[in-house]
Structure formats: C-alpha cells, structure tokens
C-alpha cells in the first residue's frame, strides 16, 4: 500500500528558487548567522512553510528556521525532525548562481556555458554513469550550485507540502529545522533543542541516492608548543636549539605512506598537520587526529607522543607541550543505541525504489554534534555531488527520490509506533 503513493513533486522548482539566494557563510564573522543574507533564504522558507499551512513556522534571531507538521494520528509516535543547512561553502562563490538543466542526460561530459575551463567530465565524476535519462542541474561554471544543502531543503519542503496536502497519510508530529553556518562548523551552536522538541532527527545532506550515513569520524585536535633555546647566531655553537627546526623534525617524522589524508581512504584515520608557525625561541604545530574508533584515535595520539619524544632527545634543553583536545565523536556511538532510526530509514529508501547503502563519512556533520547533544541524527542522501565547487551538480530524479524517502520515513515511524 505505502509504496503505491502517487507523488507530485515541487522539489526542482523550489530548488531553483533557493539557489538564486546567496547564503555563503563567513568563518571570519563572529555573529550568528555569520552572514545576514542567510536570513533572506530563511524568511522565504518561513513564508513558503506558512503558505502550505504550517502556522508556527518561524525564523529566529540567530537565523534558524523551525516549523511543525502536526500529527495525523492519535497514536503515540516519536517526534522526528528533518534538518538541512541554508548556508553554502566559503570556498566558492554562491552569488548570482545561473543554473542550467541538462534534460535527459545521455552520458558524456557536461560543459558549463559560463566558463569554457569548467567541464564536468564523466571520467572524473563516475556517479554520472548512474544518471542516464535524468535531468541534471549544474551552474554556468562561474559559481557553486548550492545543492549542498539547498537540495536537502527543497526535498524537505517538497515532502512537507506533500504530507500537508495528503492528510490521509498517517504520521506523527514532524519537525522541520533549517540551520545557518554548517559549513563553518557552527550549524548547531544556537539551536534550541527544547523548542524543537524532537526525539530523533535526520540531516538530509548526503551525496549519492540511496545512501545513509550513520558513522562519522571521531576527531581530536593536537597542539604542540615548542620552547627552544635562543642565542646570537654568531655565537650559537653548542647553545642554540632552534624551535622551528624542532617543529620541522616532528613534521618530517609523521607517517607518509599511511596515516595521512593523502594516503588513506575508507575506514583508515590519520594524523594531519594543519598549521605551523614560530621563530627561533618558540614554535607551534597544530594537527588534527581522525579515526572511526576511540582506540584508533588513541593509537594515533600515542604515535604523535612517541615522535615528539624521539625528536626531543636531540634537543635536551628545549621543552615541548602536547595538548590533545576532543573535537567531536563518531555519531555511531549514540545511534547504535536506537537501531530503529537507521532501520526505518533503510526501509524508507527501499520503499522509494532505491537500493539502500549504509556508509560512513570521513568527516563530521551537524548530525554528529546533534547526536551527542541528545538528538540522534544520521545523514540521508540529498543527491548533491561535487559540492563546494563550480562543478557541483544534482539531478531532479535524485531530489525527488529523497523527498519520497522523507515521506515514507514519516509513515514508517507511525506504522511501527
């Protein structure tokens, strides 16, 4: 029964409206949202949510959009939230996006009309091979597209409009949350979970259709502060211990063939220097530590400790401090306590006619932070590809499948309650 819903979609029209609004976030701004223009999209979304009948839709002072789709059943169904972010990456301009739609894609490279140097090559974008017959949306090559994450927003909006328009579909209370500043790591800084009132959530911000991600990296930062011994270079023999050279020696000993981003993939973590600065007397070296398991993180921290210890043997009068701090943790630790979140999502993907694939993210998401704030939150595909670049693309068919997945998921939570 449930798989025989006749979907009518508004997702592509919505998507094209949303990408026309520049919502680039700014890591150098201390305000929230980091850029006021994100509220322009927020205000439009609130207007559209009210237009479909969600009277409580609101944009708060921090730039978060909240709305409720009221339950259509008396059953006690957990309150589930669908979440996407409104900002786009600071890495690439999102102003004046001019989308082109390649209808009924038949394979091959896609040239972007605004810049001859920008070509989405089939050889470099193997995911295109699964898009034959689909309508692919790209930019003109002069900006990013913003499918990350406006595809997710359009899919949630489309699903919301569909659910409100079909009150015979049974579902519990559904919450909608659109956040600012995800791309600069502040997406959940000012979220009001009390007000949201959800028990479980899904971000709709993944890549390939059918994918669900319930694992992220666990992440630590490591800061090495080196105090060397300074002396006049003309009279330094046997006295000077150069902090810059100590820092360089540590970097030189970091593993190269393994345990670094450029030589690992899949489930292997890494140690990765992200900053170095200093002078003769003092230098600092900043690194990030990534792994999927706690034990893996600890191994890498121990390796770093060992390298530092070995290097310092050559510099007996210098001192070093190694400071390791947690950044975020693998959401799986939380999500595994509530296996139905993932099970229902896989079933919803199946009912939308796709083969579900469970995978992990070599990074963190708003969902990893939300999970540890008490709102378990895996990530469902939005269909976005080549994000943060001018080659970004998404297909209409994948966006429609994501919207259908959301509708099925709302129904499954009610069915299984």
Catalytic residues: 87, 182
Quote the distance between the C-alpha of residue 297 and its chain's center.
21
Q: How far is the CB of 186 from Zn ion (least distance, A)?
A: 13
* Phi and psi torsions of 247, nearest 5°: -60, -45
Binding mask 2-41 for Zn ion (x = CB under 5 A): ----------------------------------------
> Which single residue is written with the structure tokens 């992200």?
274
**Cα gap 241→128, rounded to integer Å:** 55
Q: How far is the CB of 182 from Zn ion (least distance, A)?
A: 6
- Please identify, among the stretches 109-117, 147-155, 232-240, 343-351, the one whose residues bind Zn ion according to the rule CB under 5 A: 147-155
Comparing CB distances to Zn ion, the nearer of 228 and 383 is 383
Comparing CB distances to Zn ion, the nearer of 138 and 149 is 149
Q: How far is the CB of 82 from Zn ion (least distance, A)?
A: 14
End-to-end alpha-carbon separation of the chain, Å?
18
Report the SS3 class of residue 291: strand
Comparing CB distances to Zn ion, the nearer of 72 and 149 is 149
* Phi and psi torsions of 387, nearest 5°: -70, 165
How many CA atoms, within 13 angstroms, populate the side-chain half-sphere of residue 22?
14
Q: How far is the CB of 85 from Zn ion (least distance, A)?
A: 6
Comparing CB distances to Zn ion, the nearer of 54 and 361 is 361
How many CA atoms, within 13 angstroms, populate the side-chain half-sphere of residue 324?
15
* Phi and psi torsions of 143, nearest 5°: -145, 175
User: Tokens standing for 291?
Assistant: 């792994």
Comparing CB distances to Zn ion, the nearer of 182 and 199 is 182
Q: How far is the CB of 152 from Zn ion (least distance, A)?
A: 7
Comparing CB distances to Zn ion, the nearer of 148 and 404 is 148
| Contacting residue, 48, 155, 170, 205, with Zn ion by CB under 5 A | 205
- Please identify, among the stretches 122-130, 199-207, 247-255, 304-312, the one whose residues bind Zn ion according to the rule CB under 5 A: 199-207
Q: Under rule CB under 5 A, which residues in 248-277 are in contact with Zn ion?
A: none
Q: How far is the CB of 183 from Zn ion (least distance, A)?
A: 7
User: Tokens standing for 336?
Assistant: 């595994």
User: Tokens standing for 189?
Assistant: 């800084």
**Cα gap 17→63, rounded to integer Å:** 19
Could you give the angle at the alpha carbon of 89 between the alpha carbons of 87 and 90, nearest 5°?
110
| Contacting residue, 22, 87, 148, 366, with Zn ion by CB under 5 A | 148
Nearest Cα to Cα of residue 149 among 388, 395, 406: 388
Report the SS3 class of residue 388: coil
Could you give the angle at the alpha carbon of 331 between the alpha carbons of 273 and 222, nearest 5°?
20
Q: Under rule CB under 5 A, which residues in 293-332 are in contact with Zn ion?
A: none
Q: How far is the CB of 43 from Zn ion (least distance, A)?
A: 21
| Contacting residue, 68, 72, 118, 149, with Zn ion by CB under 5 A | 149
Comparing CB distances to Zn ion, the nearer of 187 and 356 is 187
Is the N-terminal amide bond of 149 cis, ω within 30° of 0? yes
* Phi and psi torsions of 304, nearest 5°: -60, -45
Query: Looking at 170-251, which runs of residues are DSSP E strands?
Result: 174-179, 200-206, 211-216, 218-227
Size of the site for Zn ion (CB under 5 A): 3
Interface residues with Zn ion (CB under 5 A)? 148-149, 205
């Amino acid at each position: 029964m449930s798989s025989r819903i006749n979907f009518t979609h508004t997702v592509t029209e919505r998507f094209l409206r949303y990408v026309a609004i520049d919502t680039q976030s700014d890591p150098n701004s201390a305000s929230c949202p980091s850029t006021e223009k994100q509220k322009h999209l927020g205000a439009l979304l609130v207007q559209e949510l009210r237009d479909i009948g969600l009277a409580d839709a609101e944009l708060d002072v921090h730039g978060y959009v909240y709305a409720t789709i009221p339950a259509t059943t008396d059953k006690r169904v957990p309150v589930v939230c669908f979440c996407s972010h409104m900002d786009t990456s600071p890495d690439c301009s999102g102003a004046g996006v001019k989308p082109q739609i390649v209808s009924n894609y038949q394979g091959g490279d896609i040239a972007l009309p605004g810049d001859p140097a920008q070509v989405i090559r089939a050889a470099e974008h193997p995911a295109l091979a699964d898009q034959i017959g689909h309508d692919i949306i790209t930019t003109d090559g002069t900006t990013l597209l913003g499918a990350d994450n406006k595809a997710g927003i359009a899919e949630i909006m489309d699903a919301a409009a569909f659910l409100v328009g079909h009150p015979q579909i049974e579902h519990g209370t559904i919450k909608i949350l659109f956040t600012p500043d995800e791309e600069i790591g502040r997406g959940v800084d000012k979220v009001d979970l009390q007000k949201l009132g959800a028990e479980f959530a899904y971000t709709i911000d993944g890549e390939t259709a059918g994918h669900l991600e319930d694992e992220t990296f666990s992440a630590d930062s490591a800061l090495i502060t080196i105090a060397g011994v300074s002396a006049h270079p003309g009279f330094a023999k046997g006295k000077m211990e150069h902090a810059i050279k100590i820092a360089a020696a540590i970097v030189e000993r970091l593993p190269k063939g393994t345990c670094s981003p450029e030589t690992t993939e899949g489930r292997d973590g890494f140690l990765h220097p992200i900053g170095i600065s200093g002078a003769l007397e003092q230098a600092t070296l900043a690194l990030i530590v990534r792994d999927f398991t706690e034990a893996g993180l600890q191994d890498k921290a121990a390796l770093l400790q060992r390298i530092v210890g070995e290097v310092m043997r050559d510099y007996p009068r210098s001192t070093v401090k190694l400071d390791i701090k947690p950044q975020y943790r693998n959401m799986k630790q939380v999500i595994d306590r509530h296996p139905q979140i993932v099970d229902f999502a896989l079933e919803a993907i199946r009912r939308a006619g796709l083969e579900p694939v469970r995978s992990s993210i070599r990074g963190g998401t708003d969902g990893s932070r939300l999970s540890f704030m008490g709102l378990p939150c895996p990530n469902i595909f939005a269909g976005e590809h080549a994000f943060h670049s001018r080659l970004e693309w998404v297909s209409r068919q994948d966006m429609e499948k994501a919207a259908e997945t959301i509708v099925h998921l709302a129904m499954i939570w009610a069915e299984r309650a």
